[in-house]
Amino acid sequence: MRKIVILLLAAVCTQSVNSQSVLSIVGAGKTVDPYKYSIVKKAEFSKAAVSCAHPLASEIGAAMMKKGGNAFDASIAMQLALAVVYPGAGNIGGGGFLLARKSNGELIGIDYREAAPSKASRDMYLDKNGNVQMALSQTGHLASGIPGTIAGLFATLDYAKLPFKQLIQPAIDLAEKGFVISEREAAGLNSTRESFIKYSTRPTAFVKENKWKAGDTLVQKELAATLKRVQKEGAKGFYEGETAKLIVEEMQRGNGIITLDDLKDYTAKLRSPLEFDYRGHHIISFAPPSSGGILIAQMLKMIEKYPVGSYGFQTVKSVQLMIEAERRAYADRAEHMGDPDFYNVPVKTLIDETYLAKRMSDYTPDKAGSSTSVKAGIIKESEETTHISILDEDGNMVSVTYTLNGGYGSRTVVGGAGFIMNNEMDDFSVKPGAPNMYGAVGGEANCIQPGKRMLSSMVPTLILKNNKPYVVVGTPGGTTIPTSVYQAIVNIIDFSMNADDAINKPKFHHQWLPDEVMVEKDFDADVKKQLQAMGYKISERAAIGRTEAIRILPNGKRETAADKRGDDSVAGF
Ligand code: DON
């Protein structure tokens, strides 16, 4: 695969090469070597481009397109590869959203969010005194919703060109023969070791006698066997038969409630994408059960009437305005958003310009707003996830965010099947007003009900300019996802940044409650001081999101960028 411009080679993971084990992905002009790979942070490609959290998955995605596949093929192969090489978030035990625009203009939204098991109930995480038992919604067997990823991949296959057997083969090879782990992955596995032991009932490939170190090979034989069943039997290889039996047996060895029928009945759903305009650009984003599309629409529309570009990037003036839009949007999230099949989410009103202008009517420049006085609008009408951005030669745009929720999910590995289950049930509002692991609060709209999908912040997004593909973007980060995507969009549209700067500049985040602004460590110290002087409470936090973006330049080149905050890497040709 020929990189047109490689601007930065950040790191190389390597081990003595065992040529016997090199992955059989040829046809892309090279073989993908799981024992020696490099992280490429940004590049320009003339035809097809991908960006995601792991270099091996990126190379596999590009290779599939080189072999004649399209962006949908790449998305399937990459999600399966990430399920092996990025176990903290890549998954088959979780769920996600895929948003796409085909080159003919057709929009596609696939919802494969996890669903609450049939035995789930509103108060299942409360003790007899009504107190929230957070450990139960966040770790172990009871924390899992019914996984959606495999159903999502087969729903995506309708738009792909290559046979599924071929798309899953690299993941099988990586699981069976192993791959070299990075320092970051070694640290992640080491710090999760005790939880894996506590919440899994059988030995797992993720726990090793001594500590993991960079350059070690991670082999996942049981996961390879599961993937082979999916290769042979299709979605039934996961939702029925041996794999389903192994999931249910694992549930029964712990306090899990997922049944064989829950698995058999799970389906991915098509959702109409949410669309709106911002400063002459057309934004396409994900509708409920994601809160993300509504949130970015609300935040962008709230700031649109202000000349943000002329305020300057991360000046006090632009940051304060953006924070106050964030505060108001997240107040609405807590009150009005949930699974649209169970709760009537007032989408139209929430993104209505008059409604949003009213929401900003009490905005006071130079003075901190307050989440005590700013509440959700009155409406009368009835840290682990991962993102993949792909653009193919024909102009098909695919943006996928999928997740186990927390890093390494519930930490329960399905015995005999080798994959980690999600802890997505924590994204429900387990009790009105009680914060979840991201501090998000909610109520009726997002209460637990059997079969319901928990509200998400994941927001795969696409931007069109002059009705033509312009940007593919998205990120992990729990509740910070919509604010990260919002800032990436403002950086590109208002501050004319390239893709790399747009995703890698420092970020800030306000989510209504708690009433504080979280900033990354490299956020400007002076701006921070001035915001504090206005009355804002500021707290520093670790990295916000890992955003992947592709932007099409006027000359047609795909400017492709991977986030600096992880092992994220681009590939293409
Ligand atoms: O769907 C959601 O909003 C969350 N489960 C996403 C979790 C996440 O992004 C964690 N990553 N850092």
Cα 239 versus chain centre, distance: 23
pLDDT tens, 216-252?
Answer: 999 999 999 999 999 999 999 999 999 999 999 999 9
Q: How far apart are the first and last CA of the chain?
A: 6
pLDDT tens, 255-290?
Answer: 999 999 999 999 999 999 999 999 999 999 999 999
Pairing of strands 517-520, 538-541: parallel
**396 CB within 6 A, ligand 1:** no
384 alpha carbon – ligand 1 mean position (Å) = 6
Token readout for 152 is 């999502």
Q: What is residue 18's predicted lDDT score, i.e. its pLDDT?
A: 46
218 alpha carbon – ligand 1 mean position (Å) = 25
- In whole angstroms, give the CA distance from residue 115 to residue 561: 33
pLDDT tens, 102-117?
Answer: 999 999 999 999 999 9
432 alpha carbon – ligand 1 mean position (Å) = 20
pLDDT tens, 439-454?
Answer: 999 999 999 999 999 9
- In whole angstroms, give the CA distance from residue 413 to residue 93: 9
Closest-CA residue, ligand 1 atom 2, reads: 456
- In whole angstroms, give the CA distance from residue 183 to residue 65: 29
**476 CB within 6 A, ligand 1:** yes
pLDDT tens, 449-483?
Answer: 999 999 999 999 999 999 999 999 999 999 999 99
Phi-psi region of 318 (alpha: psi -120 to 50; beta: other; left: phi over 0): alpha
Instruction: Count each helix (H run) and each strand (E run) in the chain, helices first.
Output: 18, 20
Token readout for 137 is 């919604």
Q: What is residue 8's predicted lDDT score, i.e. its pLDDT?
A: 42
455 alpha carbon – ligand 1 mean position (Å) = 10
Contact 99, 284 (CB under 8 A): yes
Closest-CA residue, ligand 1 atom 12, reads: 383
Q: Does the pLDDT at position 388 exceed 50?
A: yes
- In testing the pocket of ligand 1, which one of 97, 184, 402, 458 has its CB within 8 Å of the most ligand atoms? 458
Who contacts 500 (Cβ-Cβ below 8 Å, separation ≥6)?
41, 42, 559, 561
Contact 142, 426 (CB under 8 A): no
Cα 427 versus chain centre, distance: 14
Q: Does the pLDDT at position 17 exceed 50?
A: no
Token readout for 477 is 């980060």
Q: What is residue 32's predicted lDDT score, i.e. its pLDDT?
A: 84
- In whole angstroms, give the CA distance from residue 348 to residue 356: 11
To the nearest whole percent, how much of the chain has pLDDT over 70? 94
Ligand 1 atom with the shortest distance to the CA of 481: 9
- List residues with catalytic annotation: 385
* DSSP string over 196-233: HHHH-SS--TT--SS---TT-EE--HHHHHHHHHHHHH
Long-range contacts from 275-278, C-beta under 8 angstroms, 24+ separation: 275/107, 276/300, 276/301, 276/351, 278/304, 278/489, 278/493
